[in-house]
């Protein structure tokens, strides 16, 4: 079991230990890595998400109106980047975002090693490759937009992933990452009880901060040009327990939410990276 940082190879420092793993942080790039004996990240995540999505396609592939609006906002935000017309969703699951992208005349591609059944379905304007991104064989500069929602925390070598994204993005193209934010106020307050620290059940094998993304993007000649965070909650203090204070605290958290967004301390971190034009 190695304790070196997989991004910058620096020595890591143990923050805490749980029954699942030793959580170690890199002082240089701020990457947080749970170290556990016998961990095989790819096999673990394929098993989890095959059961969660690929074996339940008839129900999880449906795009409800709320989700369609959410995807519509994302696609509107990246519309100005359209040049090749090619859009990639890494960890695409059942392909719900791809459906909305294809309806907006994008050539929609997905990469997800857990989606064998989804890849076999024929849908106009949609191609799903059931492999990790580095094995998909996309051409250099092929995509205008690469989207990776809740992907980075599942990947053991996130630097290799970002390097491949940089290769397949065209100059002027953008990548959008969303990931749990372990530097959020919520995570700091509840510590090791934060629900995102689920190794064997969730497949979360690494955690990133804004500093981590800045380091990764500089490694691969990408420019960090936008940071957003969302959501503040301390519900993990209680776990499954009910408390009369819970509703009051929830309301207080909602009042704090604007400050959380303004200061980039929310639980959900979104970063945009751009490949500079030649």
The CATH number of residue 164's host domain is 3.40.50.150
Query: Lowest mean pLDDT: which of 84-88, 169-173, 252-256, 273-277?
Result: 252-256
Confidence of residue 2 (pLDDT cuts 50, 70, 90): low
**Is 87 within a domain?**
yes
**Is 8 within a domain?**
no
**Is 54 within a domain?**
yes
- Tell me what the mean pLDDT of segment 15-44 comes to: 93
Helix (H) or strand (E) holding 147: strand 143-149
- For residue 245, pLDDT over 80 is answered with no
Angle at 229 between CA 273 and CA 211, to 5 degrees: 55
Query: Lowest mean pLDDT: which of 62-71, 152-161, 240-249, 251-260?
Result: 240-249
**Is 4 within a domain?**
no
**Is 17 within a domain?**
yes
**Is 2 within a domain?**
no
Confidence of residue 216 (pLDDT cuts 50, 70, 90): very high
- The number of domains in the chain is 1
* Of 33, 11, 35, residue with least CA distance to 22: 35
**Is 157 within a domain?**
yes
pLDDT at 254: 83
Confidence of residue 255 (pLDDT cuts 50, 70, 90): confident
- For residue 136, pLDDT over 90 is answered with yes
Confidence of residue 240 (pLDDT cuts 50, 70, 90): low
Residue 172's domain comprises 13-274
1 and 36 Cβ atoms separated by less than 8 Å: yes
92 and 111 Cβ atoms separated by less than 8 Å: yes
pLDDT at 243: 65
- Tell me what the mean pLDDT of segment 72-94 comes to: 96
**Is 123 within a domain?**
yes
3-class DSSP assignment, residue 121: coil
**Backbone phi, then psi, for 65, in 5-degree steps?**
-60, -40
48 and 59 Cβ atoms separated by less than 8 Å: no
């Amino acid at each position: 079991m190695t304790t070196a940082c997989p991004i910058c190879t620096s020595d890591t420092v143990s923050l805490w230990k749980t029954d699942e793993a030793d959580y170690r942080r890199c002082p240089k790039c701020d990457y947080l890595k749970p170290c556990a004996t016998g961990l095989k990240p790819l096999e673990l995540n394929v098993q989890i998400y095959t059961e969660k999505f690929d074996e339940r396609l008839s129900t999880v592939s449906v795009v409800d109106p709320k989700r369609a609006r959410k995807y519509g906002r994302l696609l509107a935000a990246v519309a100005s980047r359209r040049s090749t017309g090619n859009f990639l969703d890494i960890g695409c699951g059942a392909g719900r975002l791809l459906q909305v992208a294809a309806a907006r005349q994008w050539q929609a591609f997905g990469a997800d090693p857990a989606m064998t059944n989804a890849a076999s379905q024929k849908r106009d304007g949609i191609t799903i490759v059931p492999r990790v991104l580095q094995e998909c064989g996309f051409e250099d500069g092929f995509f205008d937009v690469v989207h990776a929602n809740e992907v980075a925390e599942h990947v053991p070598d996130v630097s290799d992933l970002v390097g491949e994204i940089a290769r397949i993005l065209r100059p002027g193209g953008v990548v959008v990452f969303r990931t749990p934010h372990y530097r959020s106020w919520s995570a700091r307050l509840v510590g090791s009880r934060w629900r995102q620290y689920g190794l064997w059940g969730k497949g979360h094998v690494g955690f990133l901060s804004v500093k981590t993304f800045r380091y990764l993007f500089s490694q691969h000649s990408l420019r960090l040009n936008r940071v957003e965070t969302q959501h503040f909650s301390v519900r993990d203090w209680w776990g499954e327990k009910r408390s009369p204070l819970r509703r009051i605290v929830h309301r207080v958290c909602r009042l704090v939410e604007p400050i959380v967004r303004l200061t980039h301390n929310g639980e959900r971190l979104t970063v945009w990276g751009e490949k500079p034009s030649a």
